[in-house]
Structure 1
Amino acid sequence: MSPAEVFQRDYMTLTCQSESYASERIKREELTYTLEPPDSPLTPKKPGVFSGSALQFDFNYTCVARARGITKPSETLTVRPKVSVSIPKISVVGKVVLGQPFNIRCHSDTGSFPINYTLIRNYDNVATTSVKLPSQEALFSVTISRPEELSKYMCEAKNNRKEVPPSKRLNATAIEPVTDPTLTVLPHLPEISEGDSLYLICGTKGTPPVTFKWYRDGDRQPLFTTTTDRNNTHYRVPKLSKEHSGTYYCEADNYAKKAVRSEKVTIEVRMAMWKKAVIGGVSLLAVSVLVVACVLYFKSKRVRVVRAAVSVWSERPPEEANDEESSVVSSEPDVEYTEVVHPQPVDIARGASDHHDYGSVEYAELNGERPEVCHNLPEVNNYQDLPVPVD
């Protein structure tokens, strides 16, 4: 058989010949050869030579030699046409993570072993491997840094001299590890007050789905965990109180299994506005009460001072217990003063009806006049020698 290995529908040739025969009795021209079974797809080209396309399945051929009524068959030749390798398929094993090694598989659905697979990148051969058993796979380990690099890979498969078209370009999703996590706080930090709702928004770059976790500094267990197909989500804390003040951060992770953590944010929950208003009102009320009390106190004190000034002629204030003054006063005798009023002559022209006690102190004080006091009284020799009365 030629060639020694034949593939389905390939052109093949079978040659029948006798290695020895009785040449003295049989001439070579008398020998004839046929193939059995008669329905063989091969046709004779010349004596003992049969050619044609190989079948797609195994076929048994027997060559029969005839001469002068003598028939001798050959041993049966089983032709097992090999299957040409089909156009290969290219795929990835597992998940593709940027910056991490992954495997590319090349595989043909049909084809007789051995099959040589070649990985191509931009029409350049990267590596070649041979698969000899059905249990083996053609795997190539590569690493990429950008998702668009995936489409540059193709596969070639070969198990004979025939050229087989390469595979399609690799089509797969590359997982970008999460990076640049951020934690955004709403409302803004200076505006966070008691009773408000707090929103902790965690965002990151990377390929979804992404798993987010929120932590409070000092706690091992996360406050909240969720997985989403978006690159950001939030955690809500309703009805804030002073106890919610603290430091918070979030973590993000995806199939790349490289968790990243945001920077920490310190949150201070301020007093509620209504509490500030109450405290301000109470403080203002207290100040107002204090001012009114002070005003009333000073007014009452002023009234007492004025009353004391008015009653200086009517009441004699108690003498203060001064050691020096008491010694001076005690050395002098107590003196009593008597006011002497001289009667005034009556004016006849004015009449008796107009007579008044003009000399009285009360009348003089009421009419704004100073009473006349006689300084040359016989009873008192000199008024200047009298001591000055002490109030």
Structure 2
Amino acid sequence: MQLQTPHLTLVLISLLSLNCGSWAQSAFTIDSVKLTLLPGNSVESGTKVTLRCDVKVSHSFPQLSHTFTFMKYNTIIYSKNSSQAMVERSFTPARRSNSGSYQCRVTIHSKEKSSNTETLTVRGLQTPLLRVESNVVNEGEKVTATCSVPEETGPLQFSFYRNQQMFMILTSNENSTNTSVEFQESGESDLHCTYRHMEFPDSSNSSNIERVLIQPVTIIPSIKVQPGLEVVEGDRVRISCDVLGHSKNGYEVFLTDRETLLMSSPSSFTHSFEVNASSSGRYVCKVETGKTEKISTAELFVAELLSRPVLSMSPQQVFQGQMLTLSCRTLNINQERITKADVKFELYKDQHPLKEGHTFNFTASQSSNGNYTCRATAKNITKESKQLIINAKVPVSPPVIRAVGQVIVGKPFQLLCESELGTLPISYTLLRYQRPFYTLTVSGPQRSAVFNISYINHADEIHSFTCQAQGGAYSRFSQALNTPVIEPVSKPELSLGFPRGQTFTEGTDVSLYCSVQQGTVPVTFFWYRVGSSRPLFTSRSSVTRGEHVIRSITRDHRGKYYCGAYNDAGQTQNSEPVTVGVNLAGWKKAVIAVICILILVLIVAILVLFLKKARTPRKRKRAVELSVKPARPKSSDPMRMSLTLDIEDNTAVNNTPGVMGRNVWSDHVSDSESDDPGREEECEKLRYTEIQPQQPNNPEEVALVVEECVIVNSELQDGTQEDPDHQTTDSVEYVQLNHCNQNPE
């Protein structure tokens, strides 16, 4: 362990040194970068200009390496590495091309900083220099002129001047350029040049002037025409081309007619040829020696011996099967040289001889079509006429008239008229009831004419249309138009086979008939139920009536129905709605009747029970009103029994006649009431009174009376049991009520 300690210490020191070195490299900051233009930002052309870049850096170590970069318009023009804090870049001398915006950038390791932008303006341009290849040349020779500005840089535009007139402009990225100058006339010419920088509009001063002397060349060409400058077709002309004032060889002579070279020779010559009308024109005799050329001209006029023949046809338009005549003639002849008898004519077809003579008669046909010309010849002068194209027309055939698409009554449609044969143009006329309706002329490429018809009111009107086709003198008529016509359907009628509103019995089949009075078949019928948007049934019929059968009709089929109809005319018509009623089936009626009777019986039974229960409390109340007291009351008994009769009208209670009154027991009375002698006497009379009721009219009343009697009897017994003392000491009086016998025990 002690041996390893020095090594560990050394490693730690090395790592610490690396960290310290890395920190030392990054321990700096660029304070400022400044660009200076010396002697200033605006100088004259030719002045020495220096770009100085200064940098200030704060750091903690002795020396730093800087990278200085000079830029013009953000493009690097110069770069240098230096440990100094200042670097310079010089233009010696400065020219106009050095003008612009400059900037300096300093980079130290990974840090960089740019200076301010400075603009340099160099006023004026360098004076260009002009040089010529030779200052003395012969007439017609060329000289090379070079314009240069040794200390400028491109791109530059050079302008060349000859006797103060600019004749050439050239652009170059170099500082010099040249051009060739040709001198056609003898004498002196002054040359100079200027230039400008392409980035700036102003031009330089003029260069030096170079004077060039042009020496004349002593050669003179001469042209002669024999027998003269005015000749007639068929004459022979001789043209001589001579060179005067030149004793040496080395030249060349040319004879040209417009752009056609007729002859050339190294010496003088004569050219002979027979002229025609096309020989008229300007002839040039040209002499060339070295770079010099001289010319001499002569104007030749050639008169016609005879004019160009004219081929004509009669008639102007010919149809197959017609006779036609071709005539060939000349309008003018030179009567001093020839007569009409000297002119010979010949007819050609497709460049093949057809017949001699100036007229030709034949019948036009398909085989006679072709290209015809005629030729007139006199004294070996032959002239040909223009080409005449003969194409015999085909007479029009009877046209065919037909409808374009469907014809629907009341709607617009189109008619087409066409002749299968016939040379265009063809005029088609549509006739209606034999009267012209409209005319169209067809020139191609279609052979047919289409007419627009607004409408027809009836289907039979379609036969009133015919067509006439006319081509030239030929005219043909078509047959009457015969095409199917679609008549829209009329308003349909929905019927049931019975009067409207007919009611049907459940289970039967019902037929709904939909019919139209007018309309072209096939007709599509559909049936709807009012309130539903979906059709019940749809059928397409070849007759004007359709049928929809509702099988085994039920009560659910009750309602209003209507039908609609349409055909290929596309117009839909709906009928008026019809009401369909449905009665119940016989067995359903019987079942319903039975059910109704049962319901009525049930209702009656419920009412009877209800009435019985309603009467029971009333009877109990009446029974309570009946009270019993001893026949001979004791003086010590506080209670006395008296019998009172409460007669009520039974008819007002239950509407049951025959029960005129009921016996009831009077309520308990006070002692004062019992002491009343009159009251006591009245009670005694009532106590033994027997009421004879009327006999009941029906058994139901008897039953009710019996039932009431039983209830009274039971209540009396209950009262007797509740008061035993009275039972032992007193006796209960017998009361008869409505034939009910009360037997006291």
In structure 2, the CA distance between the partners of 1:325 and 1:111, relative to structure 1 (3 Å rule), is: farther
Q: RMSD of the TM alignment (CA)? A: 3.6
Q: Secondary structure at 2:502's aligned position in 1?
A: helix
- The answer on whether the counterparts of 1:213 and 1:222 sit within 8 Å (CA) in structure 2 is yes
In the TM superposition, what is the alpha-carbon distance from 1:220 to its structure 2 partner? 1.1
For residue 553 of structure 2, the aligned residue among 237, 240, 250 is 240
Q: Does 1:275 align with 2:275?
A: no
Unaligned runs of 5+ in 1: 288-319, 333-389
Q: Deviations over 1:115-136 (max 9, x none)?
A: 2111112221111122222247
Q: Greater shift after overlay, 197-206 or 142-151?
A: 142-151
Give the match for residue 570 of structure 2: 257
Give the match for residue 131 of structure 1: 442
Unaligned runs of 5+ in 2: 1-312, 601-661, 666-681, 691-738
In the TM superposition, what is the alpha-carbon distance from 1:13 to its structure 2 partner? 1.3
- The answer on whether the counterparts of 1:127 and 1:140 sit within 8 Å (CA) in structure 2 is no
In structure 2, the CA distance between the partners of 1:43 and 1:233, relative to structure 1 (3 Å rule), is: farther
Distance 1:79 1:190 in 2: 85
- The answer on whether the counterparts of 1:115 and 1:159 sit within 8 Å (CA) in structure 2 is yes
In structure 2, the CA distance between the partners of 1:126 and 1:331, relative to structure 1 (3 Å rule), is: closer
Give the match for residue 376 of structure 1: none
- What one-letter code is carried by the residue in structure 2 that aligns with 1:115? I
Report the TM-score, using the length of structure 1 for normalisation.
0.66
Could you tell me the percent identity over the aligned residues? 36
Q: Secondary structure at 1:257's aligned position in 2?
A: coil
Distance 1:224 1:269 in 2: 20
Higher relative contact order (CA 8 A, sep 6+): 1
In structure 2, the CA distance between the partners of 1:273 and 1:70, relative to structure 1 (3 Å rule), is: same
Distance 2:502 2:432 in 1: 56
In the TM superposition, what is the alpha-carbon distance from 1:207 to its structure 2 partner? 0.9
- The answer on whether the counterparts of 1:131 and 1:138 sit within 8 Å (CA) in structure 2 is no
- What one-letter code is carried by the residue in structure 2 that aligns with 1:148? D
Q: Deviations over 1:5-62 (max 9, x none)?
A: 2222222111012344565565433544343359x9x989xx4111222222631223
- What one-letter code is carried by the residue in structure 2 that aligns with 1:7? F
- The answer on whether the counterparts of 2:427 and 2:439 sit within 8 Å (CA) in structure 1 is yes
Give the match for residue 363 of structure 1: none
Q: Greater shift after overlay, 114-123 or 60-69?
A: 60-69
- The answer on whether the counterparts of 2:440 and 2:449 sit within 8 Å (CA) in structure 1 is no
- What one-letter code is carried by the residue in structure 2 that aligns with 1:194? E
Q: Deviations over 1:252-280 (max 9, x none)?
A: 11122221110101111111134335556
Give the match for residue 280 of structure 2: none
Distance 1:183 1:123 in 2: 43
- The answer on whether the counterparts of 1:105 and 1:140 sit within 8 Å (CA) in structure 2 is no
Q: Does 1:180 align with 2:491?
A: yes
Q: Deviations over 1:51-104 (max 9, x none)?
A: 222222631223244668876654442212223222111111222121222222
Report the TM-score, using the length of structure 2 for normalisation.
0.36
In structure 2, the CA distance between the partners of 1:326 and 1:265, relative to structure 1 (3 Å rule), is: farther
- The answer on whether the counterparts of 1:176 and 1:206 sit within 8 Å (CA) in structure 2 is yes
Give the match for residue 28 of structure 1: 340
In structure 2, the CA distance between the partners of 1:159 and 1:327, relative to structure 1 (3 Å rule), is: same
- The answer on whether the counterparts of 1:213 and 1:224 sit within 8 Å (CA) in structure 2 is yes
Distance 1:115 1:247 in 2: 62
- The answer on whether the counterparts of 1:104 and 1:142 sit within 8 Å (CA) in structure 2 is no
Q: Secondary structure at 1:178's aligned position in 2?
A: coil
Give the match for residue 479 of structure 2: 168
Q: Secondary structure at 1:243's aligned position in 2?
A: helix
Structure with greater Cα Rg: 2
Give the match for residue 717 of structure 2: none
Between Structure 1 and Structure 2, which shows a larger proportion of strand residues? 2
Q: Secondary structure at 1:196's aligned position in 2?
A: coil
In structure 2, the CA distance between the partners of 1:160 and 1:325, relative to structure 1 (3 Å rule), is: farther
In structure 2, the CA distance between the partners of 1:107 and 1:43, relative to structure 1 (3 Å rule), is: farther
For residue 452 of structure 2, the aligned residue among 123, 133, 140 is 140
Give the match for residue 604 of structure 2: none
Number of matched pairs: 299
Q: Within 5 Å, which residues of 2 pair with 1:79-90?
A: 79-90=390-401
Q: Does 1:8 align with 2:340?
A: no
- What one-letter code is carried by the residue in structure 2 that aligns with 1:330? Y
- What one-letter code is carried by the residue in structure 1 that aligns with 2:433? N
